[in-house]
Amino acid sequence: MFRTTRRKAAAGAVLAAAALALTACSSTTSLPGDENEADATAETNSVFADAPVASDDLILPGSTMEKIKERGTLIVAEALDAPLLSQQNPTDPDSVEGFDADLAKLLAIYILGEPNVEIVPPATETREAMLQNDTVDVVFNTYTITPERAEQVSFAGPYFESGLAVAVKSDNDEIKGIDDLDGKEVIVGANTPAVTAVPEQVPTANVTAFATDPAAVQALLQGRGEAYVQDYTLLASNAANDPSLKVVGTPFTKEPYGIGLKHDDAEFKSFINDWLLAIQESGHWAEAWKTTLGTVTDSDVPTAPEIGSVPGS
Amino acid sequence: MTAQLIPDRPAPARRSSRAPRYAAAFLYDEPGPQAKRRHLIGSLVSCLVFAVVVALGLWQFASHGQLDPEKWAPFTDPAVWQYLFVGLLGTLEATAVVAVLGAALGVVLAFGRMSHRVWIRRLSGGYIEIARTVPVLLMIYLMLFGLPQIGINVPTLWKLAIPLTIANSAVFAEIIRAGVLSLPRGQREAALSLGLRSTQATRLVVLPQAVRNVTPSLVTQLVSLMKDTSLGFIVAFTELLYRGQVLATYLHLLIPTYIVVTFIYLVVNGSLSALAAHLQQRLHRTGSPIPRLPRLPALSGTSRKAS
Amino acid sequence: MNPLIDNLGLVLEALGTTLLMAVVAGVGSIVLGVLVTVARVSPIRALRVAAFGYVQFFINVPLLALLLLAVFALPDAGLMLPLTPTAIIVLIVYEAAYVAEAVRSGVNTVAVGQLEASRALGLTLAQSLRLVVLPQALRAVVQPIGNVMIALAMNTALAAAVGVVELTAAVNKINLVAAQPILIFSSAGVIYMGIALAIGLAAGRVERKVAIVR
């Protein structure tokens, strides 16, 4: 038993870490359209239809891309318990749904021509090690780009920008945003950026960290805190699911998510950056957003962040 | 007389003729009519108190909406149970692997610690002391981060199983050693005087009795091991608690999911305990090929250590 | 530089919480464990069965699941306490089951003749438990109880999952910024090892002190 951690917002999954599919270690997710996934929805299909595929001359000899192509699967560190980002469907364990999950499949299509993804769920503290010892090829795990992390791993992207926001119980009219949290009991997810961001913004707030997102929501509803600070998209998903809480104000931080790569793999990094540009241009990036994160907000498709625009990327 | 004052499980209401009616019947006389009435009143009062507490809890629970049908409806879906069941298989697999390896290593360590050769004794003792006082979690982290740095990468199951085996072998060793120490020394001496070699005496005489004496501790440890496999979530190993976690985020239902997972652990581990207790009772009844000797009066283990 | 030393204040405060939980829960679980054992030899059948059920329940359910249920389900059952006390209470009731099992094995080492002698002397049930059975039983199980206490100290780490800022939660938080997992978690492991070692040594001392020399 033990505890732990997951990272970011997303799901907060603490206990999480691991798991995999049916057997010991990993599950190969397959694309809708495969013979074993006949029931895939048309909506999901639209994300992958006509997705860009890298031409052979981009797969440089001796590169990481070539290694992946020879293997025939892209090994990705991504969560299984991050709703809207990367969530395993317990009624259909082969399908992992969400924005991160879809982008990972799009990258697999780009390299391999088909969405062969093997998922290894990471714990927050194992992501760097997984890249360093070649357990995974890439990390799609709401991995915020920071200069400190960039000393141990390389980041492609950023591929998405989110931010922390505040959720309260629906009947709370007193708290309208982060500035109203002075002296309040504030709930955050363990191992999320909120752990450090909240004390920076409101030094007087009393922060309690819960390991998982459902735990944090439950704690908020039971009154263990007056506000819950978490990634905006995740809060939106919770609010859409449970009318007894609501998101107030707008995101007060910027969290640029990057794709984690082995340190100093410059070829692979520029290859992935080219792919990001390609899916942004082809509209696949926007389509992935619309069918996942976009389902819980009213806003338009956001502009993808500029590649390399963040220190550390 | 080798009566267990407190048996592994409460005696059934109807007991066979010779056995004392009460678990600890040596502690008090067979109750007379008055004492019986007092005991009956005591029983009724305790039952009533339990019932009231449970009912109050349930009532409160319902008033908070936790018993609403829609909160439990997902658990009528067989796919959900199948999902958890696969996690349970992972839990059982890891438990079995660690139990076998840990017990084997534990026997070696236990006898190593009682060896005549000083260096074997020190080595085994040192291993046991360190392995018992390092959190399994730390060892898992070392497996996860340390080994790959020296170029070794093992399958996921082993990232969990090796640290658990290291920790559990030390515990198993201590339990088995306690069992051996609890045996009258004469057992071994008699075996040797019959012409058995030292290893034969250990294998045929000492170990079987020692293990039987400590079966309850071994089972307790096995169950505790099964619970510890929930650490598998750190190394990306599919097990029950982790699948419960994924399910809770998917359903947005924390309390019902964990109640269900807790219930599954309770049923599985409880049956394991019950099975072991049953096996042990049978062992007690049929006995081993070697007739049981009367136990030495009182604390043989402690007194030997103190002497 | 070790990031734990850079954040010494936070680490020490968290270590204090860990030690507080370990000590309070340790004492509490020993007391409760002995009471449960006493219930298991009670002449009242309902108490015996309840004590047995208690031990079986807590020995068969993972601590983490209990912590989550206690923190999140108990408030809906009308019982809401701050986080650290909740975690301590869960640790007490959980580890008490293990203490009870240890004490039970100790009680089973007490020779039947001892009990018969105490009854022959006219001691009441309470007296023979207090003066004859428990003293001998507890002396026999100092090491096993020490092991339960070590496990308890390790298990305090799980409280991090329900929001208690103890050692593991604190180093996790530090790692989130510093991102040096090997160094940070190894250092934390050494601290836990130190705690376990202290408990082990204390148990050894107590055992030697109370051993019955025959």
Mean pLDDT over C94-110 rounds to: 89
Chains that touch B (3 or more CB pairs under 8 A): A, C
Which positions 22-51 of B are in contact with C (Cβ < 8 Å)? 22-24, 26-29, 31, 35, 39, 42-44, 46-47, 50
Q: Measured between CB atoms, does A210 come within 8 Å of chain C?
A: yes
Strands (E), chain A: 27-29, 74-77, 81-82, 86-89, 92-97, 117-119, 138-144, 153-162, 164-169, 185-189, 206-210, 227-231, 245-248, 255-262
Residue B236 has pLDDT above 70, yes or no: no
Whether B260 is in a domain gets the answer no
- Distance from C-alpha of A270 to C-alpha of A307, rounded to nearest angstrom: 10
Greater confidence (C97 vs A27) lies with C97
Residue B286 has pLDDT above 80, yes or no: no
**C9: burial class by Cβ within 10 Å (0-12, 13-18, 19+)?**
exposed
Residue B108 has pLDDT above 90, yes or no: yes
Torsion of CA C98, C99, C100, C103, to 10 degrees: 130
Q: What is the pLDDT of residue B16?
A: 45
Delimit the domains of chain C by residue range: 19-164
Which residues of chain A are under the pLDDT cut of 70?
A: 1-46, 123-125
What fold does the segment set A164-248 form as a domain? D-Maltodextrin-Binding Protein; domain 2 (3.40.190)
pLDDT tens digits for range C118-166: 888 888 888 888 898 888 888 888 988 998 998 899 888 888 878 888 8
- Across chain C, which distance is largest between two alpha carbons, in Å? 69
- Domain extent, residue B214, equals 89-237
Q: Measured between CB atoms, does A220 come within 8 Å of chain C?
A: no
Delimit the domains of chain A by residue range: 27-161+256-296, 164-248
On whether the CB atoms of residues B111 and A47 are closer than 8 A, the answer is no
Amino acid at B162: I
Which residues does chain B have within 8 Å of residue A123's beta carbon, measured at their own beta carbons?
233-234
Which of A185-194, B108-117, C49-58 is least confident? A185-194
Which of A173-182, B21-30, B248-257, C56-65 is least confident? B21-30
Residue of A nearest to C79 (CA): A222
On whether the CB atoms of residues C171 and C185 are closer than 8 A, the answer is yes
pLDDT interval class at B233 (50, 70, 90): low
Taking all residues of chain C, what is their mean pLDDT, rounded to a whole number?
86
pLDDT interval class at B130 (50, 70, 90): confident
| pTM (two decimals) | 0.77
Q: What is the pLDDT of residue A37?
A: 37
Residue C17 has pLDDT above 90, yes or no: yes
On whether the CB atoms of residues A156 and A272 are closer than 8 A, the answer is yes
Q: What is the pLDDT of residue B300?
A: 34
Whether B300 is in a domain gets the answer no
Mean pLDDT over B185-191 rounds to: 86
pLDDT interval class at C97 (50, 70, 90): very high
Q: Measured between CB atoms, does C158 come within 8 Å of chain A?
A: yes
CB-CB under 8 Å, B43 with C46: yes
Greater confidence (C121 vs C182) lies with C121
Taking all residues of chain B, what is their mean pLDDT, rounded to a whole number?
78
Mean pLDDT over C94-101 rounds to: 93
- Distance from C-alpha of B28 to C-alpha of B1, rounded to nearest angstrom: 17
- Distance from C-alpha of B274 to C-alpha of A190, rounded to nearest angstrom: 38
- Superfamily grouping for domain C19-164: MetI-like (1.10.3720.10)
Residue A223 to chain C, least CA–CA distance (Å): 10
List for chain C the helix, strand, coil content (%; round to 5). Answer: 85, 0, 15
Question: At which residue do the structure tokens 């505040």 appear?
Answer: A166
Mean pLDDT over B18-27 rounds to: 51
Q: What is the pLDDT of residue C19?
A: 95
What's the number of domains chain B is made of? 1
Residue B109 has pLDDT above 90, yes or no: yes
Interface mutation vs chain A, best among B238, B240, B247, B269, most A CBs within 10 Å? B238
Greater confidence (B296 vs C155) lies with C155
Q: What is the CATH number of the domain that holds B108?
A: 1.10.3720.10
Q: What are the backbone angles phi and psi of residue C19, rounded to the nearest 5°?
A: -65, -40
Q: What is the pLDDT of residue B11?
A: 55
Greater confidence (B302 vs C160) lies with C160
User: Could you say which of A120, A123, A241 has the minimum Cβ distance to residue B234?
Assistant: A123
pLDDT interval class at B168 (50, 70, 90): very high
What fold does the segment set A27-161+256-296 form as a domain? D-Maltodextrin-Binding Protein; domain 2 (3.40.190)
Which positions 90-149 of A are in contact with C (Cβ < 8 Å)? 124-126, 128-129, 148-149
Which positions 59-78 of B are in contact with C (Cβ < 8 Å)? 60-61, 64-66
